[in-house]
Structure 1
């Protein structure tokens, strides 16, 4: 078992609510305020985690069905994954101080206090989810993800349940468009997914390389140079995977709808209006976006 301290500005319940937003989620499940998820480690092991709150001070990670990692480095990798997934190492106090002075954000931080920008630590998974979600509704995006995961991801059977992990870039890089026909994704998206997988599997595209770019615009430019990745997908990945605080998907329909809802507008705000409001959110654009998205669920 692992015990991971959490900051005061963390609510396990709020994060579980966010993770339960779709009944079609295939990579984790929730029951009795416990979160269950398998995670693929560098060693090839796939431990199954049961994550629960230990009061307000810590998370407890229990391993199910004899899947507990034995090696210290594997346990440390699990701990890093959970801390990254819940963004536990970010100090949210400055964000909350800013948000409580902002007309658009003040209600969100009171409603969702302790919510973290739930991450997607694996770069290929983050990019794949961004590609899958392009120009379709969220419900269908979850269906496509499930088909991809169940057909090409690995799994472990544990205590009567099957737990999947997202296919790795290497798992996908050697496939063809024809191999992906069964999941009913468009040909273009299949090509984008395969091309991205090949870049990551070859080592040409890495989290370290994106971080080394130094700032969000340079990282965005690197990503949008890849076929099938536009500014929305790039900023989504920089938010959820790279944790760049000033990543901002200004063209996101969900963000536009959230602002429209909060302000009672009869239309979606224009990009220039969002950019004007966002001036006051710096350097917390990612968290401002994430909290506004939460208004819609």
Structure 2
């Protein structure tokens, strides 16, 4: 079964109402003065390639490399398959990321079919590709496919947000966060957005926490 699509203000308000009623502690993390941003991204090859390019880089550095790729017309499957590694290296990609880009292009995914799959099916297919881990696949489902019930429990910022909000002594493990997130179904994606927003505010208020 394919979960809800989270794309409109109506969906947002419905989800926030559910989370507020479902979890009184999580409701404290919702900023009453600021609207949650849904952060819609494009879908398809270009979106996944951009995520690979951005891995372990600052936003600024990743943005510069990605712009060079776009300027050279290489943000598409055909372009990557035809270009030599030396060209990608000259644009700023590491050798490892070059191999990831080729693996993604060679996978020949049917991106349109993802719309008919549930998120677990999409994630399981994506993580078979070199360079795409569970977090990357979950982020794709959340922001490119607009799925309402995905929670990237391995995300360190989300783990830290849970620790602060629920007043835990230590940062919870991925498994512990995943278990807690089940309480927020079928709006786990929205719960993640709330917690990311909460963590960002906490960092500004207290300084860097980790």
**What TM-score results when the alignment is normalised by the length of structure 2?**
0.78
Given that 2:50 and 2:66 are in contact with CA atoms closer than 8 Å, whether structure 1 keeps it comes out as: no
Query: What's 1:206 paired with?
Result: 110
Q: Is residue 4 of structure 2 the alignment partner of residue 87 of structure 1?
A: no
User: For residues 148-187 of structure 1, what are the structure 2 equivalents within 5 Å?
Assistant: 148-149=66-67, 151-154=68-71, 167-187=75-95
Q: Which runs of 4+ in 1 moved over 6 A?
A: none
CA contact (8 A) 1:144 1:184 kept: no
**Cα distance in 1 between the residues matched to 2:143 and 2:33:** 18
Greater mean alpha carbon deviation, residues 258-267 or residues 218-227: 258-267
Question: Greater relative contact order (Cα 8 A, min sep 6): structure 1 or 2?
Answer: 2
Q: Which consecutive unaligned segments of at least 5 residues does structure 1 have?
A: 1-83, 156-164
The correspondence for 2:63, drawn from 128, 134, 145, is 145
Q: 2:181 aligns with which of 263, 278, 297?
A: 278
> Is the 1:133–1:141 Cα contact (8 Å) retained in structure 2?
yes
Match of 1:96 in 2: 16
| Higher fraction of strand | 1
Q: Which of 103, 118, 121 pairs up with 1:195? A: 103
User: Aligned partners of 1:272 and 1:100: how far apart in 2?
Assistant: 23
Aligned twin of 1:289: 192
User: Which protein has the bigger helix share?
Assistant: 2
8 Å Cα contact 1:87/1:118 also seen in 2: no
Q: Structure 1 residues 194 and 281, CA, compared in 2 at 3 Å: closer, same or farther?
A: same
8 Å Cα contact 1:119/1:240 also seen in 2: yes
Paired residues for 1:219-234 under 5 Å? 219-234=122-137
2:140 to 226, 229, 237: 237
Which of residues 3, 19, 40 in structure 2 aligns to 1:119?
40
The question of 1:262 aligning with 2:165 is answered yes
Which of the numbers 95, 101, 120 marks the counterpart of 1:217?
120
Distance 1:279 1:263 in 2: 15
Residue 25 of structure 2 contacts residue 165 of structure 2 at CA under 8 Å; is this kept in 1?
yes
Structure 2 portions without partners, runs of 5+: 201-210
RMSD, aligned α-carbons: 2.8
Q: Are the equivalent residues in 2 in contact too, given 1:232–1:249 (CA < 8 A)?
A: yes
Residue 148 of structure 1 aligns to a residue whose secondary structure is: helix
Distance 1:148 1:89 in 2: 30
Aligned 8 A contact 1:210 1:219 in 2:
yes
**Distance in 1 of aligned mates of 2:151 and 2:47:** 16
Change (3 A) 1:276 1:197: same
How does the TM-score come out when normalised to structure 1?
0.58
Describe the SS at the equivalent of 2:36: coil
